Amino acid sequence: VNFNPKLHYVSEWWKQLYGESEGKENKGIFPASVDFSTDLHSMGQWIQEGERTIYETVISVEKTQYSLQVPSDEANELGTQLAHVDGGVPNMRIVIPALNEESIGGLLYFFEIACGISGYILGVNPFNQPGVEAYKKNMFALLNKPGYEEESKAIQARL
């Protein structure tokens, strides 16, 4: 979860990191991300009262480059997080000091280390991607890419 639109693509990167690193052998978390306040009513409702299969991580920025006065913004972020905690959602908050290269780099590094450790705890290799390789091999076979002649014959026989 983030409350800053500039973190949208960090969230997209995070989904790829965890999906590709842990999503194998019928294991791994289902990585999803939401941009509040855009997704607050739709996904916020689900997070607060839906199925308990998630752990919410909120990324907050302590000091932004520009300031836009919205009287209830900070209260909305805290109010949302408190409502989710009160709803029984496991929750943590990560605060980065600013939206700059050092803070974003540190955040990415934190998630990379956490993902590697998490993958090993789950008993999967977080540094391979057998599912990705499988669909790439099928795609190359369907496109008759040179070097995939045998796979092409095998996949055509299945169709």
Which position among 20, 22, 77, 84 bears the catalytic label?
Answer: 20
Nearby residues of 69 by Cβ (< 8 Å), 6 or more positions away = none
CB 31 within 8 A of CB 115: no
Please indicate whether residue 84 is annotated as part of the active site. Answer: no
Radius of gyration of the chain (CA): 20
Residues 25, 125: Cα–Cα separation, whole Å: 10
> Helix, strand, or coil here: 64?
coil
Is 136 annotated in the active site?
yes
112 classed as catalytic:
no
Exactly one of 6, 63, 136, 153 is catalytic; which is it? 136
Write out the catalytic residue numbers: 20, 41, 136
